[in-house]
Chain A
């Protein structure tokens, strides 16, 4: 009852139509303006490169994707756990939350350069660590909010039922935090992918999407680099859609949080 099939169709059709128009315009612009391939290759060339290198792109996607996934899972678990601890102690919460928000606003993934120094050159750990950190902050801030910002009427009702702190946690705070967790995941899932491949720019083994993009640009294979960019876009999209589907599965029928 929250979304009619028609509204859903409109939601899908509009962006798809826009995408097609955009690609067509791009293709036409390259032809008409006679842009050089090293400046901007046409979508048709990118698509050819994408198909020709599909196996390689898939390998690189698996590397970046698994780094993103591992970091996303660990970061989420850690973020939820920390949110419970923080929400238990108000002072701690008031201290850490602004810090976490502030850290979220700076591009902390440059820290990966330092992590790279701590581990062997071929290790994937620094990148996964970086993703974990980024995801952890996003999840922590949102879930802590959900656990603490509880309707005042609910709190008074629970007190009138002589409910214990544990009962309030289980029956009010945790369910109240569930939508916040999914808001966090919808932000964190694409952020995990971005962090995973941006982390690859800072050294380490050259097997992921990020390093391949840089590597191909370095040898002037622009269209191939764009092929990898396409792979990266699809990976980010897949992560976001997975988060949206998880939300729908976990809270069926409930009005969805703002996207």
Chain B
């Protein structure tokens, strides 16, 4: 089976050979299988966005290889093998909601009726049917982010790359969006790489959490999360959930990971972890 993402021996330096050279990533290896939901977490400046942009071929690595869908990243980009979403929804103000979702299809050369049909299908998926003709500025932040997800998935790419997509949302909306994202990606069997700096968000969403450290940016830990199917509130209040949160936090602090002893410690409310 070809990997959804294959990052091998990748380093990325900005401003090479200049006094302000930054080693954003050093020797990163990461293989992601189809169907996985992988979060990348780490302090600000540890190279999460850089890693995601390398997968998206918005940046070229200084050394090493990036493959997406079994193809070199550049080829995968040209084939629109992935969709992307950012912290800013990045909707186009001069296009209504449907036309925003249609944009990637337009650039693929789809005809008008096929585009529209798919866009409406996507809006149904993100539960925004009634807002098809609205303009972006008429929507709340969470709704805008849902349009951005619909747009990223419009061409049915096998891979979704997300850079802190819920970072600007309030905690309630954010938890709701997390549950929605899992549902949508489950229904469309999309592989996801998700950048965040919220520990509960990473644990709730992921099958694997990749922990990174800065200066230079490296992967320091990869933590499997086997919480089974997520059930919004039930999962968030499950002791196993808190245990994973503790594990990720300790990995982030570079502490010795809690050994096999079952001492989970007092449960932490989920919201506390957030920034």
Interface residues, chain A, with chain B CB atoms under 8 Å away: 1, 151, 153-154, 156-163, 167, 171-172, 175-176, 178, 251, 253-255
Name the contact of A160 in the complex, choosing from B56, B94, B137 (C-beta under 8 A). B56
How far is A14 from B49 in the complex, measured between Cα atoms in Å?
51
Name the contact of A161 in the complex, choosing from B80, B93, B135, B138 (C-beta under 8 A). B80
B58 in the interface (beta carbon within 8 A) = yes
Give chain A residues whose Cβ lies under 8 Å from the Cβ of B79: 162
Interface flags for B24-37 (1: CB within 8 Å of A; 0: not) read 00000000000000
Question: Does B107 lie within 8 Å of A162, measured CB to CB?
Answer: yes
Give chain B residues whose Cβ lies under 8 Å from the Cβ of A251: 94
Question: Does B84 lie within 8 Å of A156, measured CB to CB?
Answer: yes
Question: Does A255 lie within 8 Å of B137, measured CB to CB?
Answer: yes
How far is A72 from B63 in the complex, measured between Cα atoms in Å?
55
Main secondary structure on A side of the interface with B? helix
How far is A178 from B93 in the complex, measured between Cα atoms in Å?
12
Interface flags for B69-103 (1: CB within 8 Å of A; 0: not) read 00000000111101110101010111000000001
Name the contact of A254 in the complex, choosing from B84, B107, B135 (C-beta under 8 A). B135
Interface residues of B in 94-139 (CB under 8 A from A): 94, 103-104, 106-108, 135, 137-138
Which of A151, A153, A156, A178 neighbours the largest number of chain B CB atoms within 10 Å of its CB? A153
User: Do A153 and B90 contact each other (CB < 8 Å), given the known contacts A160-B77, A160-B82, A160-B84?
Assistant: yes
Name the contact of B90 in the complex, choosing from A154, A175, A254, A255 (C-beta under 8 A). A154
In the complex, the chain A residue whose C-beta lies closest to that of B53 is A156
How far is A20 from B135 in the complex, measured between Cα atoms in Å?
40
How far is A153 from B92 in the complex, measured between Cα atoms in Å?
10
* Minimum distance in angstroms from B174 CB to a CB of chain A: 19
In the complex, the chain B residue whose C-beta lies closest to that of A157 is B90
How far is A130 from B209 in the complex, measured between Cα atoms in Å?
65
Which of A153, A157, A172, A175 neighbours the largest number of chain B CB atoms within 10 Å of its CB? A157
Question: Does A162 lie within 8 Å of B77, measured CB to CB?
Answer: yes
* Minimum distance in angstroms from B100 CB to a CB of chain A: 10
In the complex, the chain B residue whose C-beta lies closest to that of A154 is B90
Name the contact of B107 in the complex, choosing from A1, A151, A161 (C-beta under 8 A). A161
Give chain B residues whose Cβ lies under 8 Å from the Cβ of A158: 107
Give chain A residues whose Cβ lies under 8 Å from the Cβ of B94: 175-176, 178, 251, 254
Question: Does B90 lie within 8 Å of A162, measured CB to CB?
Answer: no
Question: Does A153 lie within 8 Å of B88, measured CB to CB?
Answer: yes
Name the contact of B58 in the complex, choosing from A156, A167, A171, A176 (C-beta under 8 A). A156
How far is A163 from B90 in the complex, measured between Cα atoms in Å?
16
Give chain A residues whose Cβ lies under 8 Å from the Cβ of B93: 254
* Minimum distance in angstroms from A153 CB to a CB of chain B: 3
Question: Does B103 lie within 8 Å of A162, measured CB to CB?
Answer: no
User: Do A171 and B103 contact each other (CB < 8 Å), given the known contacts A1-B138, A151-B90, A162-B78?
Assistant: yes
* Minimum distance in angstroms from A162 CB to a CB of chain B: 5
Question: Does B92 lie within 8 Å of A154, measured CB to CB?
Answer: yes
Give chain B residues whose Cβ lies under 8 Å from the Cβ of A151: 88, 90
Question: Does B135 lie within 8 Å of A253, measured CB to CB?
Answer: yes
Give chain B residues whose Cβ lies under 8 Å from the Cβ of A156: 53, 56, 58, 84, 86
Give chain B residues whose Cβ lies under 8 Å from the Cβ of A253: 135
Which of A160, A172, A254 neighbours the largest number of chain B CB atoms within 10 Å of its CB? A160
Question: Does A162 lie within 8 Å of B137, measured CB to CB?
Answer: no
Give chain B residues whose Cβ lies under 8 Å from the Cβ of A159: 58, 77
How far is A84 from B119 in the complex, measured between Cα atoms in Å?
32
Give chain B residues whose Cβ lies under 8 Å from the Cβ of A171: 92, 103, 106-107
In the complex, the chain A residue whose C-beta lies closest to that of B104 is A161
How far is A222 from B158 in the complex, measured between Cα atoms in Å?
79
* Minimum distance in angstroms from A204 CB to a CB of chain B: 44
Question: Does B107 lie within 8 Å of A163, measured CB to CB?
Answer: yes
Give chain A residues whose Cβ lies under 8 Å from the Cβ of B108: 161
- A-B pairs with beta carbons under 8 Å apart, 27 shown: A1-B138, A151-B90, A153-B90, A154-B90, A156-B56, A156-B58, A156-B86, A157-B86, A157-B90, A159-B58, A160-B56, A160-B58, A160-B82, A160-B83, A161-B103, A161-B104, A162-B77, A167-B107, A171-B92, A171-B106, A175-B92, A175-B94, A176-B94, A178-B94, A251-B94, A254-B94, A254-B135
How far is A159 from B104 in the complex, measured between Cα atoms in Å?
11
* Minimum distance in angstroms from B102 CB to a CB of chain A: 11
In the complex, the chain B residue whose C-beta lies closest to that of A159 is B58
